[in-house]
Structure 1
Amino acid sequence: MKIQRATTWSLGLIVAGALFSSQAYAAKIPDCGKREPSKTLPTPQNSEYDAYRNAKTSAVAGGPGNTVFNNNEKRLPAAGKDEIYYEYYLGIGGDGGAGSHRAVLLVQTPAGKRKLLERYYTQDHYASFCSLKN
């Protein structure tokens, strides 16, 4: 009887761990609400949308501006093997600084061709994210 309880308890802990893993948490990241980033991102004269398009191109090409996003707060799913998050500024703040709007892109980086896997947007400097589809 004691072995059965211990086994049940262990299985319960394993299931709980799976539910609270980064992948399970990632399911809680909401969709940004629209399929077109141009309709989702704040677009004063489309400047942020243009910056987002440039970020996607740079992420896949491995070009300049690829600043690694370390996901220290664990608000996004953990990057897997041969995957890296890159962050991109999407505008200029009212004080002339970088502002709080960012795109965070998950890129698969095996030897050879790079591939854009996931796209996230934050307008509050990483306090919250939503998922972009395009």
Structure 2
Amino acid sequence: MFEAETKVRVRYAETDQMGYVYYGNYAMYYEVARVEALRNLGLAYKALEEMGVMMPVLECKSNYLLPGKYDELLLIKVKIAKFPAVKIVFEYEVFNEDNQLINKGETTLAFINMKTGRPCRMPEVMKVLMEPFFES
């Protein structure tokens, strides 16, 4: 299993009239966390695109438990529990500054060949980087 963490400060523009994180912004936080997770793995998303592979989101789930608030520093934990093939599933847990779990989410992305627009397998370089996290 691969795990990573990143932190995001809630900006004023990301809140609603109540000062709470607007629900749609959690998808953006998920994106920040997964891009940083891949970078921590040793593979920038930009490098994937340069290899001719893109990763569109197929599904996004979010469970709102407590509100995130303006100027809080949120901790986003990312987990890849299953070894990817043509699809990759990222699981997220978002914690506030009091270490309270405020949001849980999941995104499913596909590996797509940018030239053909068709699904493809995870790039070999990514496979090599991920294998150590899934050895039993």
TM > 0.5: no
Largest Rg, 1 or 2: 1
- Between Structure 1 and Structure 2, the one with more helix by share is 1
